[in-house]
Structure 1
Amino acid sequence: MPRPCTLLVLEDEPLIMMDLQFSGEDQDCTMLCAASCGEALQLIDKADTIDAAILDVSLGAGKTCLPVARKLENLSIPYILHSGDLDRHDETIRTLDAKLVAKPFPAEKVIAAAIACAVNDDC
């Protein structure tokens, strides 16, 4: 049986983050949750391992997940994009080579997609 996954979640909406966190814990994942790029980058630097990440594209005030996505890419950590408004972002975000899981989507299915990304390299 594979070991439980450690998943990073970058999400600025508290209810969505909580839903993802609880769904991940229900699937025996260790959840590292951040509401901003700064928090996510700190978690990445401190974590022993991160198997995959779920990144909200739009983080409010014109900020995006791009710095975190680039850091994850540099560390060869797979991630999925979880967004309801990808069409409103600049072309830089569109260059990210990641699976998009559009909002709204059930949290357990988002977690399942992240686990598949980590375990089967299905991103």
Structure 2
Amino acid sequence: MRRILVLDDEALIALDLAGVLEDEGFAVCGPYNSVDDALDAIDAHAPDGAILDVNLGQDKTSAPVADRLGQHDIPFAFLTGYEQIDEKLEERHRDRPRLGKPFDRTRIATLVRGMLGN
């Protein structure tokens, strides 16, 4: 079973996203709400893919997690409530797939399968 890391600081959204992924046959790594926890999880047992909220509150972003995933060639996508997302993303991550909040269950499943090449 393919493992998908979920990083989102909003517990209800993270749990809903995890439920969607599980319903689609994926194992969920997390969900995590902090950069440190997500980085520890990647180092302990690398996931097959990830969905990352861009803004994690208190002026923190998921950029360090995105960087680590990129170093390991692990595909990932961003999930965000921001319309002007390019202002929040570092330029090196602007070509990554992204979905807006609230998310559509079918689009999440399609996005993850596309990221993983299924």
The bucket for the TM-score relative to the shorter chain is: 0.7 to 0.9
Could you tell me how far apart the structure 1 residues matched to 2:14 and 2:49 are?
Answer: 16
Equivalent residue letter for 1:59:
L
Q: How many residues align?
A: 116
CA offsets per residue over residues 32-69 of structure 1, 9 Å max, x none? Answer: 1211100100110111x411110000000000000000
Could you tell me how far apart the structure 2 residues matched to 1:50 and 1:75 are?
Answer: 10
In the TM superposition, 1:1-123 aligns within 5 A as 4-33=1-30, 34-47=32-45, 49-85=46-82, 87=84, 90=87, 93-96=90-93, 97-120=95-118
> Once superposed, what is the RMSD of the aligned Cα atoms?
1.9
Identical counterparts, % of pairs: 33
Could you tell me how far apart the structure 1 residues matched to 2:89 and 2:43 are?
Answer: 24
Structure 1 residue ranges (4+ consecutive) displaced by more than 4 angstroms after TM superposition: 88-92
Could you tell me how far apart the structure 2 residues matched to 1:39 and 1:13 are?
Answer: 15
Q: Give the TM-score of the pair, scaled to structure 2.
A: 0.87
Unaligned runs of 5+ in 2: none
Unaligned runs of 5+ in 1: none
Q: Give the TM-score of the pair, scaled to structure 1.
A: 0.84
Q: What is the SS of the residue equivalent to 2:103?
A: coil
